[in-house]
Structure 1
């Protein structure tokens, strides 16, 4: 009897288990159902009419949806937007598939599905049934460069062979038109019939040799009633070849006025389109160089301590805890923590920042970065897919494989594009045959073939993904990671950029600048007690107070009853005294008056320092001030965003005077100060109004705002929670990368619009020209060879235009 097991979300108690089991057993055909709270699974045995898809839907409706997972497939044989649409429809038709996105530029598919209903081999089989080869995605390290190189090498061989066979055909067919003496020489030596026979043999070798790729893909697609670009090329070239063959071997079947051959057209069509694909493959290879360069940063071996000796091992054999040696100038193999030595490491591949980073004992080193002149020893902390470099590669791959919202229009059009072109070719043939001048059959054939050949769904299919491929790769080189491709489009639409202050615009390492105790209290005593209370806090201001006490050599007593108050401060008992350290709001909520300190606190805040009140046993006794240095690139970042026409804002939990002082120094337009962590989302929405807004942050308390913004931008030096909540990650700590991200997103979207304009404009203008629309007005009747050249160049233009983003 069939059975299915699902991982489910939402089960928290025995009641949930009961509801899940009752929902499953209520499905007709289910004979037994069981839910496991600990494992988070639900299983059922069933018979007809029940099936696994129906069970998954019942779980979804009952509020316990099956957990979905994601896989990637490598696909071969896709050549145009019609192929993409066909593969997507095949994948989405598989039971259990929630979403499928296919990318022509990367020749891959990303599929989200319910485990238990389907699996990667089944998905690959569904693609194979549509006529394309598919397999579960393999490691980029080994396959991406090899596959691109192999594709280009194969195409180069096909072009060389096809060109060598086509050249004599073109000379025999066109030489007489260009040089009349050559026409007479052929007639007087081998004769026109023999010339046609030679052309027939050579053209057949082209079509069924290098051009077999069009026939093997295009004709089966026609049989499946799912035509694509290969079908257009196959029909056009075969039509010219078959017609010419009839004229050569059975001329009586064709009117005398129409007895001409077009072998050179059939051969040249195949050769030119192969040349276009070769140029396109090489250009796409350059478009994916960012990934290859990242992959190339991984060294093959590392020197590891094994007992009393140091041995060289493959990087794949490294394990967390291994102690690795790093020679001067050597590339770091995997992520780790320095255990011995002091030096500088070039991390520009990671952050995009040219200045090397100082590394000493306890510092983190990242695989792929380059050591300076000192020898270091480090303990391995992450290997394989867990390293930062692997995660970066995965993020870039995911972004490159994504579809932008603008692609939806392209998908709808390309679904009908090839069938419409074939219908137009038939209509063109019929109109010329009925109304055209003599020889009607010849004119009708030439026009119909030209329509088939000049149509280019490739350009439409490549217009968006190849720009994303280059744009996201360029971003990775500059330390800007787009976690999802659609963030590119949304960031280009942003009109307001809001920043968190601490750690984003400032260094995030504030220093104590002032201690102002009330009469009768010693500065060191106040600092000692405040630092004791703050010793266990991770807040940056707390660390500044503790660091100042340690710098003065003060011994810190133990604190009891420490109670943190988010957005306000903390209280504790130190040496029998109840101490409160925080902002003025914290004092007011505790019923402590600090009016006599208000003027000085406001003055400090106006200077960009954060005032901190200290109260002992219910009395305000001192005022501390902490300043967080502004990052060197912050002012230029704001200026660059203003030059781009964007408004800027800052959200801070600091006192209003402090926040406004920082904003004035940086030139920020709007400030929302004294904002509690839970209030950042509300502040963000009030700052945005109806305009799309991006939020830049780095802390755990920024995660809700990063998720709520139209585009969340996380500093890579921040917490993992913040990075996971964002859609764009800046690998360095320099806020100038925000302006880089905005500029790159706008350049990419501008490039996409250019590509789409060309792709659609090309087809809208040239298909009617190929059909002969201009002929009655004295215009040209397009040759199939020119049509093939134009079609090949159309795709090359789109890819080449996208490559300009490498200089963005």
Structure 2
């Protein structure tokens, strides 16, 4: 089943997203996700439908798929955006608004036919956008905000036109109301779009704005090297490229020759460059600050690290945390309720006051145009967009929006030791064996080169040999280590003291090697505590968070690390199953975050309230975690916790504003304390307030 990812333009509120979501689900499609802020739409395409059919259906709703099939072109419009519509409309609206200013009296503007002539161009442009959108939303059963705008503008025009035709124009003259509503809502929509666009700015920095040209290397029949420029999008896996100082790395690659200092801040948030040499990996989008290297491409397009991250961030944006679900339910019925209130306002004012039908109509129109369902729909996505953007810019990757929300409740953080609190940059400190040393090293390398554990990587790197053993079978057992069988049937094992307990009482070493169930030697390795670890623990304590060290390592070593860092509690010598049970027990007491990087941490990471992994962790650990720290360390752990908490606070503030605005504004309009013109302006600015409040997350202190 194909997963389709589209960019759809024309969505302006939650109801727009609900319209597309409802349409696609009605077609029987699964895993439908729609993000109106970014315009991202994704779903699983069934075999019974074609993309062309679905694109046409979305076009009929009043939206357009930008990156769909080549033949599906956007309908031509005279005006491309709200700013152009506003600038056109203000030309005709300004003279009528000027006539309303005390002391300014333009006799010609008192003529109803002059006002009608000025209003009609504005009305036609307004109905082309608001009217078209309103009709499409009504036909699909999800009325949007534009229904309110279209109704308000149409009511004022029809009432004014009726007065003009019966010769009593001065008593029915609300043409300027029609023009002002449309013009000011266009202005409000433009300001809203710019504000919402700003909330996406941090995410856009993850993409490379310029078109990159790569230096491709090719060889002729005489093996002479030729270098020629190509579009980076045309590169394929295996292509050879030359990257010079100051140039972007066009795609993910691996260094074949040369050395360079590389700025990977686009991914990690770290401003300091990283030294790269032969066999090191390069991330597409990073910059060569100094040096020249030759490399071969390892991933292109959506398979690159950066593209995968952007995809995860976009998916996280489309998810709705629980706090938004109530707002969505209210948004779905908001427009019909407001229309009912507007009608009730008209009837109540007309029959129970002496202000007359015209003033009663103005009050009902004010109710229509001041109401803002968009605010409720925008409250969560705007905050999440800024929160995810700031996180990504600082090397913190949230895989889903739920993680942002649940961080608010985290009361304790559980750390793995090796590779998490320590650097994982091990060195062999000593070893002892009962067999030939070279044979012992060969056995150790042959076993450990298949493991992803940091200690195993150290042994494999230090004792690398070309004469390694070819195994008939080999596997990594969680919590124990490597087990293998050679072609002659001999069995081997490399692991912690657990596998050697029956052969020796000395439990002070890191790795024990067995052959045919006999202990043939052990190894010790040295590991340094991460330089940022102590500060991170202190920051967590300052935030009122308890810290726990949970490790499979020996208790004496864990106690030493915990004492150096000031960690509150130590639980050592734990198998993966025991780690899982411990995390489950902690979760039952209070929400718990777990941070780890090994294959043995994966079950616990998945069980924790929030699982956090490092970027250089094993793949299974990264897949089990909901949050990944990309900056090669735990420095940004407090930031991720603080950002999650403050994003949730911002969402609550936004929703409070959205509800309180409508609760206060609608009665004020119904009681006649607000002119429809100012109501239209207030409606547009209400969304801007939410966007500005969300943008505070960009610089707000969260730790």
Q: 1:784 to 1:87 in 2, by over 3 A?
A: same
TM-score of the superposed pair, with normalisation by structure 1: 0.77
- Structure 2 match to 1:35: none
* In structure 2, C-alpha distance between the alignment counterparts of 1:121 and 1:500, rounded to whole Å: 50
* In structure 2, C-alpha distance between the alignment counterparts of 1:99 and 1:560, rounded to whole Å: 43
- Structure 1 match to 2:503: 592
How far does residue 424 in structure 1 lie from its aligned partner after superposition? 0.5
Equivalent of residue 22 in structure 2, options 89, 101, 115: 89
**Conserved? CA contact 1:530–1:579, under 8 Å:** no
Could you say what secondary structure the match of 1:504 adopts? helix
- Structure 2 match to 1:80: 13
Equivalent of residue 47 in structure 2, options 96, 107, 116: 116
1:168 and 2:95 are equivalent in the alignment: yes
Report the RMSD for the aligned CA atoms in angstroms: 3.3
Cα offsets for 1:718-763 (capped at 9, x unmatched): 2333222222222221111222211221221111111111111100
**Conserved? CA contact 1:104–1:461, under 8 Å:** no
Could you say what secondary structure the match of 1:280 adopts? helix
Greater CA drift, 618-627 or 752-761: 618-627
* In structure 2, C-alpha distance between the alignment counterparts of 1:318 and 1:742, rounded to whole Å: 39
How far does residue 243 in structure 1 lie from its aligned partner after superposition? 1.4
- Structure 2 match to 1:502: 418
Q: 1:569 to 1:222 in 2, by over 3 A?
A: closer
Cα offsets for 1:688-721 (capped at 9, x unmatched): 3332222222223332222222222221112333
How far does residue 686 in structure 1 lie from its aligned partner after superposition? 2.6
Equivalent of residue 648 in structure 2, options 725, 744, 749: 749
Cα offsets for 1:463-505 (capped at 9, x unmatched): 1112222221222111112222222222333333222222222
TM-score of the superposed pair, with normalisation by structure 2: 0.88
Q: 1:570 to 1:756 in 2, by over 3 A?
A: closer
Could you say what secondary structure the match of 1:374 adopts? strand
Equivalent of residue 673 in structure 1, options 563, 566, 572: 572
* In structure 1, C-alpha distance between the alignment counterparts of 2:284 and 2:160, rounded to whole Å: 62
Could you say what secondary structure the match of 1:343 adopts? strand
- Structure 2 match to 1:304: 216
Equivalent of residue 541 in structure 1, options 455, 458, 469: 455
- Structure 1 match to 2:201: 289
Equivalent of residue 783 in structure 1, options 675, 682, 688: 675
**Conserved? CA contact 1:697–1:714, under 8 Å:** yes
Q: How does 1:193-232 map to 2 (within 5 A)?
A: 194=111, 196-210=112-126, 212-222=128-138, 226-232=142-148
1:405 and 2:322 are equivalent in the alignment: yes
How far does residue 659 in structure 1 lie from its aligned partner after superposition? 1.6
Could you say what secondary structure the match of 1:199 adopts? helix
* In structure 2, C-alpha distance between the alignment counterparts of 1:418 and 1:806, rounded to whole Å: 33
Q: 1:338 to 1:678 in 2, by over 3 A?
A: same
* In structure 2, C-alpha distance between the alignment counterparts of 1:712 and 1:297, rounded to whole Å: 33
* In structure 2, C-alpha distance between the alignment counterparts of 1:543 and 1:781, rounded to whole Å: 73
**Conserved? CA contact 2:615–2:630, under 8 Å:** yes
Higher relative contact order (CA 8 A, sep 6+): 2
Could you say what secondary structure the match of 1:535 adopts? helix
* In structure 2, C-alpha distance between the alignment counterparts of 1:166 and 1:388, rounded to whole Å: 51
- Structure 1 match to 2:62: 132
- Structure 2 match to 1:105: 37
* In structure 2, C-alpha distance between the alignment counterparts of 1:419 and 1:217, rounded to whole Å: 16
* In structure 1, C-alpha distance between the alignment counterparts of 2:616 and 2:468, rounded to whole Å: 33
- Structure 1 match to 2:694: 802
**Conserved? CA contact 1:321–1:380, under 8 Å:** yes
Equivalent of residue 265 in structure 1, options 157, 165, 177: 177
* In structure 1, C-alpha distance between the alignment counterparts of 2:137 and 2:372, rounded to whole Å: 17
Q: 1:542 to 1:442 in 2, by over 3 A?
A: closer
Unaligned runs of 5+ in 2: 220-224
Could you say what secondary structure the match of 1:313 adopts? strand
How far does residue 789 in structure 1 lie from its aligned partner after superposition? 1.4
Greater CA drift, 683-692 or 538-547: 538-547
Unaligned runs of 5+ in 1: 1-67, 602-609, 773-779
Q: 1:248 to 1:310 in 2, by over 3 A?
A: same
Could you say what secondary structure the match of 2:19 adopts? helix
**Conserved? CA contact 1:339–1:361, under 8 Å:** yes
**Conserved? CA contact 2:549–2:569, under 8 Å:** yes
* In structure 2, C-alpha distance between the alignment counterparts of 1:249 and 1:572, rounded to whole Å: 95
Could you say what secondary structure the match of 1:475 adopts? helix
How far does residue 260 in structure 1 lie from its aligned partner after superposition? 4.2
* In structure 2, C-alpha distance between the alignment counterparts of 1:555 and 1:791, rounded to whole Å: 72
Could you say what secondary structure the match of 2:419 adopts? coil
* In structure 1, C-alpha distance between the alignment counterparts of 2:539 and 2:188, rounded to whole Å: 40
* In structure 2, C-alpha distance between the alignment counterparts of 1:626 and 1:481, rounded to whole Å: 32
How far does residue 557 in structure 1 lie from its aligned partner after superposition? 9.7
Could you say what secondary structure the match of 1:358 adopts? strand
**Conserved? CA contact 2:445–2:463, under 8 Å:** no
Cα offsets for 1:389-448 (capped at 9, x unmatched): 22122222222222222221011111111000000011111111111123x212211111
Could you say what secondary structure the match of 1:237 adopts? helix
Could you say what secondary structure the match of 2:350 adopts? helix
Q: 1:709 to 1:69 in 2, by over 3 A?
A: farther
How far does residue 526 in structure 1 lie from its aligned partner after superposition? 8.2
**Conserved? CA contact 2:153–2:181, under 8 Å:** yes
**Conserved? CA contact 2:576–2:604, under 8 Å:** no
**Conserved? CA contact 2:269–2:393, under 8 Å:** yes
* In structure 2, C-alpha distance between the alignment counterparts of 1:87 and 1:491, rounded to whole Å: 31
**Conserved? CA contact 2:205–2:266, under 8 Å:** no
- Structure 1 match to 2:402: 486
* In structure 1, C-alpha distance between the alignment counterparts of 2:438 and 2:299, rounded to whole Å: 40
Q: 1:152 to 1:385 in 2, by over 3 A?
A: farther
Could you say what secondary structure the match of 1:648 adopts? strand
How far does residue 788 in structure 1 lie from its aligned partner after superposition? 0.9
Could you say what secondary structure the match of 1:486 adopts? helix
- Structure 2 match to 1:511: 427
- Structure 1 match to 2:337: 420
Q: How does 1:276-675 map to 2 (within 5 A)?
A: 276-296=188-208, 299-307=211-219, 308-438=225-355, 440-514=356-430, 530-536=440-446, 537=448, 538=451, 539-544=453-458, 567-568=479-480, 582-588=495-501, 591-594=502-505, 597=506, 601=508, 611-612=510-511, 624-675=523-574
Equivalent of residue 234 in structure 1, options 136, 150, 163: 150
* In structure 2, C-alpha distance between the alignment counterparts of 1:364 and 1:427, rounded to whole Å: 67
Q: How does 1:142-161 map to 2 (within 5 A)?
A: 154-161=81-88
* In structure 2, C-alpha distance between the alignment counterparts of 1:544 and 1:78, rounded to whole Å: 52
**Number of residue pairs matched by the alignment:** 682
**Conserved? CA contact 2:181–2:677, under 8 Å:** yes
How far does residue 318 in structure 1 lie from its aligned partner after superposition? 1.4
How far does residue 168 in structure 1 lie from its aligned partner after superposition? 0.4
How far does residue 620 in structure 1 lie from its aligned partner after superposition? 7.7
- Structure 1 match to 2:222: none
Q: How does 1:30-41 map to 2 (within 5 A)?
A: none
Cα offsets for 1:238-287 (capped at 9, x unmatched): 211221222233145x9xxx814122222111111111111111122222
